[in-house]
A and B are shown apart, each in its own frame.
Chain A
Amino acid sequence: MMRCRITYRKTAPLRYTGNLDIQKIWERYLRRAGLPVAYSQGFHPQPRIQQACPLPLGFLSQAELADIYLDDDTLRPDDITRSLQVMPYPGIEIAAVEEVDLTEATLAGRVTATEYLAEWIDPIDADQLASRVFALLNTPQLLRSRRDRDYDLRPLIEALDVLPADSAHNTGLCMQLSARQGATGRPEEVVAALGYAPFDVRYMRTRIYFTD
């Protein structure tokens, strides 16, 4: 058995596909590519595919990570990349494949923070955004409620910067949010806290941070 770490981009065709379904899609992708995925033991053997960190529905991503276990240890990362690229799956673009040690801790348990780009679908006033961001960062506490739970959003925001518009993009934000057990910041919440409609924005995950 071998364990491979796949870094991939989640693009438009899978934008509205949730986490459970992505798991299935990986299973089918590996079958199509002829890669012998390993199955868990027990009554209901499941393919061993482990995603690092769930991506909210409707988000795109430049930096998704998944570990897959294969029943073959003669394969090299290059072979796997090639197999995956020969049978491409719409919505998944392979960025890198590397072999990792079987004993290494799971990705999911090591996530600390995630970084997102939020770009407005239609142009907005960048100065207004900048001043609201400034004000927000200077607030000690940001009480919000989500799914009937009250929480403080402020400490979950690790970084927040305005991205000015250019020829290809509207004004946006780059934000780094905590993603620890029980302390996960959501980018739509930040947008809402800034006083904008969360669905006027397109979200893209750009990075996942891990402990070593």
Chain B
Amino acid sequence: MTFDHTMLQKQLERILPTVQKPGRYVGGELNQIVKDWDGVETHIALAFPDIYDLGLPNLGLAILYQTLNAREDVFAERVYSPWTDMELAIRKSSIPLYALESHRPIADFDILALTLPYETLYTNTLNLLDLAGIPLYAAHRSDQHPLVIAGGHACYNPEPMSAFIDAFAIGEGEEMIHDIVNAYQAWKRSGQPRATLLKALAQVSGVYVPALYEPDYHPDGTLRELRPLDPAAPRRITKRIVAKLPPPPTNFIVPSIDVVHNRVAVEIMRGCTRGCRFCHAGFINRPVRERPVGEILQAVQTALKQTGYEEVALLSLSSSDYTQIVDLVDQVSKHASENHLTISLPSLRIETFSIDLMDKLKGSRQGGFTLAPEAATDRMRATINKPIAADQLLETARAIYSRGWSTIKLYFMIGHPSETLDDVRAIVDLCKAVIAEGRKIIGKRAVLHAGVSTFVPKPHTPFQWAPCDTPKQIQAKQELLRSELRGPGLKMTWTSPKDTLLEAWLSRGDRRMAEVIYNAWRNGAKFDAWQDQYRYEIWQAAFEQAGIDPAFYTHRMRAEDEIFPWDHISPGVRKSFLLGEYRASQTQSFRSDCRESCLACGILPTFAELRRTNPGKQWMCPEVPIRKKKAVLEPVAS
């Protein structure tokens, strides 16, 4: 079918005035890239399966957008989920989902590349495929349909979505995406059937093609094996990383409407060496790599010029650990005060030095000062490997209140393995101690906001063996908090146990979850990440229809030798290392920050070749002694 742009424009002109925030659906923003449709070989739609407001600021997609459009043979465009009002309107007018740059239907593209940073986007992914007119199941797609690929943190357990995605990109996309595009182009020129493309993709390092594998289960429902069906399918898919972080993107698209983050975002460092045992990001993003200060400053300046933004976020999992943090903050703040800029620096350590850093940034103190102690007893801190002494937290809190902030936000998690009600009560005591300090210093103005989320054990972390709290346990803990964590200046927010359950099912699910996700979508589930849209009953029904017990995924203690549905995906960290950490958590043993001395998680041997060809200080893994290095490298060389 030929594409009638005028006709679509007219339809949209009538629809857009009737929906909320129509600016989400038109594109045309500052720094958008437009190319001649017929002038490029490969069309790629980059999708974030939630609304524009959340998707536009996504840094991963911004990186891919820049690097793909830097190629003359590629035109990469954007697409997001329409909000429910717009979905209704376009379905009624039979308008297929279209990309923002060219307004072409998504079905006309060569590749649809989805980012799945978290699991609650799964039903939206199905809905997006449906709105685009693309068969939901990968097996139902023909040569005519776009290749559907997905990447992002949730894809480290690709199995729940494996029926719907042709190929997963595991790990960092900067280099991998080009290998995927090249394989696609070679296939397209060859005129071979789609199956050939899938096999070719399976040869790309970091790419997982689920159709080339078949699971086999034990009678108790656990996995016996995930069997490769084709010689092209590797037994294990190791994530891709870049040896050195490439220069960050600067030419950000500036939305013409207000979105969640309106700012320049620069990743100063990737990965984290702290080893908090609950933290998915901490285990899948190793090794730690830093960007040089000069490169960051250059990027900030260029990006500000190109966007006109008034805010800059310096992103990392743990800002305090960036080796040149003082130098960086000094230089950035000099620039900021001259130009009415706001600088944000998330994830600061609990120490008074963090306040010095924030002081230098001279930002508004309105939003409060955020810290994440995560747990309140020494026993829990040792379990999760996040050592913070209570008096250190109190000292930091005192300093925050006395240096101009009236609000402190503390993030805690309940539901850590082996947690008792006493551990939860300690959260109350700690918060009360903090607000008491605040009131001593600034009186009634002092506010403490406790954000208490519920822990979900994630794949590829030491807690992957642990059960998730049952709704009853969660409710008892939340009840305790709600009744005791109150008083002048105290505020608390928590996660609904039903939200936690969904996250838990989806994150440790296997291939059988696909049917549940499909059922849920058929029954109307979408925007599960939105509290006002998520419907627990739909999911319960979806499990029932599929004949699957949801508790199998959530509340079951896994045996130490259980084969997990995600074991064929390797983040470079060994399962045996994770098990060691799990055992250490049970004996409440702390592990030090591994940038001081390597704990042998597996990253260095996995990426030995990459490390050898990229020596130097950018990796925070200490250099391994020569003798050991040789031993590691021998098999590679032979």
Task: Spell out A's residues near B (CB within 8 Å).
Answer: 12-18, 20-21, 24-25, 27-32, 39, 44-45, 47, 57-58, 89-91, 121-122, 198-200, 202
Partner of B308, one of A14, A21, A31, A200: A31
Q: How far, in angstroms, from A89 to B262 measured CA to CA in the complex?
A: 17
B1-59 contacts to A (CB < 8 Å): 10, 13-14, 16-18, 21-23, 25-26, 28-30, 32
Partner of B16, one of A18, A44, A58: A58
Closest chain A residue to B18 by CB distance?
Answer: A199
Query: What string of 1s and 0s marks CB contacts (under 8 Å) between B256-285 and chain A?
Result: 111000100000000000000000000000
Given that A16-B257, A28-B254, A28-B310 are contacting pairs, would A21 and B14 also be in contact in the complex, using a CB cutoff of 8 Å? no
Q: With an 8 A cutoff between CB atoms, is B304 at the interface?
A: yes
Q: How many pairs, one residue from A and one from B, have CB atoms within 8 Å of each other in the complex?
A: 75
Q: Are B310 and A58 in contact (CB under 8 A)?
A: no
Q: Are A32 and B257 in contact (CB under 8 A)?
A: no
Q: Are A57 and B17 in contact (CB under 8 A)?
A: yes
Closest chain B residue to A89 by CB distance?
Answer: B30
Q: With an 8 A cutoff between CB atoms, is B522 at the interface?
A: no
What are 26 inter-chain pairs, A to B, with CB distance below 8 A? A12-B28, A13-B256, A15-B26, A16-B16, A16-B21, A16-B256, A17-B256, A21-B23, A21-B256, A21-B257, A27-B308, A28-B310, A29-B308, A31-B339, A32-B307, A32-B308, A45-B340, A89-B30, A90-B30, A90-B32, A121-B14, A122-B10, A199-B13, A199-B14, A199-B18, A202-B13
B541-596 contacts to A (CB < 8 Å): none
Closest chain B residue to A39 by CB distance?
Answer: B340
What 18 new A-B contacts, CB under 8 Å, besides A16-B21, A18-B257, A90-B30?
A13-B29, A16-B16, A17-B256, A21-B256, A21-B258, A25-B256, A28-B307, A31-B339, A39-B340, A45-B340, A47-B340, A57-B17, A58-B17, A90-B28, A122-B10, A198-B17, A199-B18, A202-B13
Q: How far, in angstroms, from A202 to B305 measured CA to CA in the complex?
A: 35
Q: How far, in angstroms, from A121 to B16 measured CA to CA in the complex?
A: 14
Q: With an 8 A cutoff between CB atoms, is B306 at the interface?
A: yes
Given that A21-B258, A91-B256, A121-B10 are contacting pairs, would A13 and B28 also be in contact in the complex, using a CB cutoff of 8 Å? yes
Q: How far is the CB of A18 from chain B (nearest CB, A)?
A: 7
Q: How far, in angstroms, from A27 to B306 measured CA to CA in the complex?
A: 13
Q: With an 8 A cutoff between CB atoms, is B83 at the interface?
A: no
Q: Are B14 and A200 in contact (CB under 8 A)?
A: yes
Q: Are B257 and A17 in contact (CB under 8 A)?
A: yes
Given that A28-B309, A90-B29 are contacting pairs, would A16 and B18 also be in contact in the complex, using a CB cutoff of 8 Å? no
Of listed A15, A27, A89, A202, residue having the most chain B CB within 10 A: A15
Given that A58-B16, A122-B10, A200-B14 are contacting pairs, would A20 and B26 also be in contact in the complex, using a CB cutoff of 8 Å? no
Q: How far is the CB of B338 from chain A (nearest CB, A)?
A: 11
Closest chain B residue to A26 by CB distance?
Answer: B308
Q: Are A31 and B258 in contact (CB under 8 A)?
A: no
Q: Are B306 and A32 in contact (CB under 8 A)?
A: yes
Closest chain B residue to A15 by CB distance?
Answer: B26
Q: How far is the CB of A119 from chain B (nearest CB, A)?
A: 11
Closest chain A residue to B256 by CB distance?
Answer: A17
Size of the chain B interface, CB-CB below 8 angstroms: 30
Q: How far is the CB of B594 from chain A (nearest CB, A)?
A: 42
Closest chain A residue to B13 by CB distance?
Answer: A121
Q: How far, in angstroms, from A36 to B364 measured CA to CA in the complex?
A: 21
Query: What string of 1s and 0s marks CB contacts (under 8 Å) between B294-337 and chain A?
Result: 00000000001111111000000000000000000000000000
Partner of A28, one of B14, B17, B23, B308: B308
User: Which residues of A are found within 8 Å of B21, using beta-carbon distances?
Assistant: 16
Q: How far, in angstroms, from A100 to B527 measured CA to CA in the complex?
A: 50
Q: How far is the CB of B262 from chain A (nearest CB, A)?
A: 8
Q: How far, in angstroms, from A174 to B305 measured CA to CA in the complex?
A: 41
User: Which residues of A are found within 8 Å of B308, using beta-carbon distances?
Assistant: 27-32
User: Which residues of A are found within 8 Å of B339, using beta-carbon distances?
Assistant: 31
Q: How far is the CB of A189 from chain B (nearest CB, A)?
A: 14
Q: Are A58 and B22 in contact (CB under 8 A)?
A: yes
Q: How far, in angstroms, from A13 to B254 measured CA to CA in the complex?
A: 12
Q: How far is the CB of A126 from chain B (nearest CB, A)?
A: 19
Q: Are B26 and A31 in contact (CB under 8 A)?
A: no
User: Which residues of A are found within 8 Å of B306, using beta-carbon distances?
Assistant: 32
Closest chain A residue to B341 by CB distance?
Answer: A31
Q: Are B23 and A16 in contact (CB under 8 A)?
A: yes
User: Which residues of A are found within 8 Å of B32, using beta-carbon distances?
Assistant: 90
Of listed B16, B17, B25, B305, residue having the most chain A CB within 10 A: B17
Closest chain A residue to B26 by CB distance?
Answer: A16
Q: How far is the CB of A92 from chain B (nearest CB, A)?
A: 10
Q: How far is the CB of B305 from chain A (nearest CB, A)?
A: 7
Q: Are B258 and A20 in contact (CB under 8 A)?
A: yes
User: Which residues of B are found within 8 Å of A39, using beta-carbon distances?
Assistant: 340
6 closest cross-chain pairs (CB), A and B: A28-B308, A13-B28, A32-B308, A31-B308, A16-B23, A16-B22
Q: Are B22 and A57 in contact (CB under 8 A)?
A: yes
Q: Are B17 and A17 in contact (CB under 8 A)?
A: no
Q: How far, in angstroms, from A131 to B500 measured CA to CA in the complex?
A: 63
Q: How far is the CB of B300 from chain A (nearest CB, A)?
A: 14
User: Which residues of A are found within 8 Å of B305, using beta-carbon distances?
Assistant: 32
User: Which residues of B are found within 8 Å of A16, using beta-carbon distances?
Assistant: 16, 21-23, 25-26, 256-257
User: Which residues of A are found within 8 Å of B10, using beta-carbon distances?
Assistant: 121-122
Q: How far is the CB of A55 from chain B (nearest CB, A)?
A: 13
Q: How far is the CB of A39 from chain B (nearest CB, A)?
A: 6
Query: What string of 1s and 0s marks CB contacts (under 8 Å) between B358-397 and chain A?
Result: 0000001000000000000000000000000000000000
Closest chain B residue to A198 by CB distance?
Answer: B17
Closest chain A residue to B32 by CB distance?
Answer: A90
